Amino acid sequence: MLKIRLARVGKKNDPRFRVVLTEHTRASKHGYSNVLGFYNPMTKEFKIKDLEKVKKYVGHGAQLSPRVEKLMSVNNISI
């Protein structure tokens, strides 16, 4: 099963996250299929690069992680 979740990519004490599509059994830092967006918790910036891709993956059975789902609802992004 595919999941859309966050993968940490920032430095120590400077967290940044990518919104990625990955297999649910695999650790998100050890490989992912696509980078769909990013989230910077320091500035509260959240951006999905291609919303149509996210809609396509969700339509084909991919699930959103609880954190990504919450970030999308807070930023008024609906699928």
Side-chain-side CA neighbours of 16 within 13 Å: the count stands at 10
User: For residue 60, what pLDDT band results from cuts at 50, 70 and 90?
Assistant: very high
pLDDT at 41 over 70: yes
In the chain, what are the domain boundaries?
A: 2-74
Per-residue pLDDT, 49? 93
CATH class of domain segment(s) 2-74: alpha beta
Q: Report the C-alpha gap between 12 and 52 in whole angstroms.
A: 33
Q: What is the pLDDT of residues 20-37, one digit of tens each?
A: 999 888 766 667 778 999
Half-sphere exposure of 6 (CA within 13 A, CB side): 19
Q: pTM for the whole thing?
A: 0.87
pLDDT at 28: 60
Asked whether residue 66 carries a pLDDT value surpassing 90, the answer given is yes
